[in-house]
Amino acid sequence: MSMRRQKPDDRYQKLIAHWEPLSPLVEGYRTLRLNIQFSMGDKLMQTILVTSPGASEGKTITAANLSLMMAKDHKKTVLLDFDLRNPRVHFTFDMPNLYGISSYFSDMCQIPDIIQPSGVSELSIITAGPIPHNPAEMLGTPRLLELMAYLRQNYDFVIVDSPPLIVSDAMVLAREMDGCVMVVDASKTKRDSAVKAVEQLKAAGANLLGVVLNNKKVGKREGYYGYGYNA
């Protein structure tokens, strides 16, 4: 468990897309949103799973900022924290996690009860809730389908933050989603584990849209256009 703990500093990484809309980093998330919208084509790409081969490679940050970008595009969006083992979304958004997905799965709440406002218009959040003993079995129940059906009806976009692919949860979730985005940490993720993760997702029948290359070291010369707008 302690291996998966992020450093205290990283845990509170900010929602850059909200605070600094002109930052070149946000340009990356904007590109991600556009590319997801493009890859939709005729298909309905309403639910997106964000996962990664290993722990702390930037899933939550990517999911949070992607959902912010969607909300800022005036799409009614909901962000789900499906990492029932090591939930992080409530830290990122600085909100309580007294009830959430696990409470709904264990029949303690109804769906509307676990949806919380994020403080950003058009964006709602469902936190993970208390950490359950059997997260893998929970995901196998028909409640997952019910939840997704409900959210599909009420929202334009559903972004799901998931556990890494070293546990089976993400595979179960990926099957139920329209699209899947894999986060790869340029300073961390090894080729082999990434290749294995892709194979796992494909075997699970996920619609893998592509990769988000996170934490890439960008040289001074390769800076984005507009770098320094907010310097």
CB 181 within 8 A of CB 209: yes
CA atoms of 180 and 47, how far apart (whole Å)? 8
Asked if 188 is part of the footprint of other proteins (rule: CB under 8 A), the reply reads yes
Which amino acid, residue 79?
L
Asked if 41 is part of the footprint of other proteins (rule: CB under 8 A), the reply reads no
CA atoms of 173 and 171, how far apart (whole Å)? 5
CA atoms of 181 and 125, how far apart (whole Å)? 19
Length of the chain: 231
> Out of 19, 140, 149, 226, which residue is the one contacting other proteins (CB under 8 A)?
19
Which positions from 89 through 118 interact with other proteins, judged by CB under 8 A? Answer: 94
> Out of 108, 145, 149, 186, which residue is the one contacting other proteins (CB under 8 A)?
186
Region of 18-26, 78-86, 96-104, 125-133 interacting with other proteins (CB under 8 A): 18-26
> Out of 62, 102, 118, 200, which residue is the one contacting other proteins (CB under 8 A)?
62
CA atoms lying within 13 Å on the CB side of residue 76: 7
The pair of three-digit structure tokens given for residue 145, joined into one six-digit string? 């389908």
> Out of 20, 73, 156, 176, which residue is the one contacting other proteins (CB under 8 A)?
20
Binding residues for other proteins, per CB under 8 A? 8-9, 11-14, 16, 19-20, 23-25, 28-29, 31-32, 35-36, 39, 58, 62, 94, 181-182, 184, 186-192, 194-195, 198, 208-218, 224
